[in-house]
Structure 1
Amino acid sequence: MYSADPTRYDGRMPFRRCGDSGLLLPEISLGCWHNFGHVDDQHEARAILRRAFDRGVTHFDLANNYGPPPGSAEENVGRILAEDFSAHRDELIISSKAGHEMWQGPYGEWGSRKHVLASLDQSLKRLRLDYVDIFYSHRPDKNTRLEETMSALATAVSSGRALYVGLSKYPPKMLKQAVKILKDMGVRCLIYQPPYSILNRWPEAEGIHDWLEEKGIGSIVFSPLAQGMLTGKYVDGIPAGSRAARAEGFLQTAQVEAQIEKIRALHRFADDLGMSLQHLALRWVLSQSAVTSAIIGARTVAQLDDSLAAFQAPSLDKEALEIIDAIAPAVKKDDAEG
């Protein structure tokens, strides 16, 4: 029987307001993209969720297609939520998304009203929940009118299946259009979810961060460690068994090779500051005023604890930020190397 740590809100985990909404998110959120599927160790998955909550991580980020296989992360997290966290539902922020391929046929992916609402209903069944706190359109659909996709998000809120809605990976022009359409429908976009790290600064370079702050919209960033490139794992090359060494992975050898000089320079600078590259990367992301929260993954409880130990590392002063800018300047998406 799980009993939550009574000191979980003692200040170890800082919280930030999500834009100008009433919602507060932990500065580090737990992503369930990897490590919670049917192929993973379910005892470790349960231990990770428990440890995260005990450390003040109140936000678990999911999507319909997380696994593998797709859907299995929601099934497994849903079982653990029901067995361990039912008494804490009102302390938790559970998010999910729709848009990537989930089933065969013309309605199994993208942004049609048919797909988005059917996917939400399936996610709620897998998660064993009556509602999710945040529901995202996971990716833009260039072949479906934005009004249709946004109307599905608005229905998710009006029907009580989601408390808030957000957008993930939308390019700047489409993001701004979608936010306006939602507003005209009487629904505010709570949050935007882009990839963002020292090595991938396009939301900053293209003015999205400034625009989000102006509009009072939060930003929760994924891949703050650049898919592991900012953990120190690749400083001496590409180790066997790593993500970049697997042909089927999202991180490719060419991406690492394109960034290797920056990675090594950042690693040396982290050493000079007396911290790990991973902690430098997380500290840097959280130094950005537009960032509400950073989503991390964890394969083990030890990995989770190591990431959360970033809060014990010193904050980055102006001089440190300027050095990082010189090593890895912000560039627009089309100009980025990876």
Structure 2
Amino acid sequence: MHLNNKKEKKTYLVTGSAGFIGYFVCKKLLFQGSSVIGIDNLNDYYDVNLKQTRLEDLNTYENFTFFQEDISDRSALENVFLKYKPNIVINLAAQAGVRYSIENPDVYMQSNVTGFYNILEACRHFPVDHLIYASSSSVYGANKKVPFEETDFVDHPVSLYASTKKSNELMAHTYSHLYDIPATGLRFFTVYGPMGRPDMAYYGFTDKYFAGEPIKIFNNGDFENDLYRDFTYIDDIVEGIVKLIPRTPSGEGDVKHEIFNIGNNNPEKLMHFITSLENALSKSLGKTVEFNKIYEPIKPGDVPRTYASTDRLHQAVGFKPKTSIEEGLQKFADWYVQYHKLTENAKEVQVTNS
């Protein structure tokens, strides 16, 4: 492992810059004074207005340049590389969602496989100091051994989404080996927070509550063997990414490719998470909130538990998540109530720079 001690100003390319994690990563880099090039196709997988809100905030920074492009468009991507020659590439563009991959597999192959191939080709022809890319905890499939460690067997994915993320890790390893591209893959564990993705359970539950609809919990009502999730607050995710940027991967042998879990290392029962969300919304609204719950069987592609070992990341850069579920959900609830103007007494919420 080598730390890059160069002090010159770097140019960052962040794909998926109008997405949840991409937005916060851009905001952190811009706040630090870096030049950031953002790429996003602004697709309608979820509410485009939320993506536009994130983008409008990023556009207030003079050192931010945005292109509405799809990374599966190779020529468009190469034009950006040719013009700006980024030093660091952070690839967060992907078609997300486990269940949606069962309904619409084509978009996963286009964005997550072809798109990532285009990123690798661009980094090959326009060499970069470091490529950081999003993988996912879903690559662990239905592994029963916990916590999940980076050295665990991950050849039995249970969704196409997971398969595309595993393929990204293999492709990055190969390109690092063949073309000396320093690359780091990050297996994210259930990221949540303000301005998050509406397709995520916590956001969807909140939407359902205000629509007067019941929420569906896919655990068969089995509270003894409830689902576990390693919920990770967005600020902790961003801190981990930023700490990894100057770290040139050492990898195995001469391959400069490494993979890290980036999670909370503290899984929560789904029902505890839901109760904490009810409590957070109750505080934000000044009244008792209780979801109407319907219990159903676990869905195809879902996994019963996720639990990240973050030892490797802590040893590498000192990363240690510090946001509790209660604190993180309160920040989300306060933002949600203010963003959707749900009460005259809604708190003004500042989106953090981290």
- Asked if TM exceeds 0.5, the reply is no
Normalised to the residue count of structure 2, the TM-score between the two structures is 0.34
Normalised to the residue count of structure 1, the TM-score between the two structures is 0.35
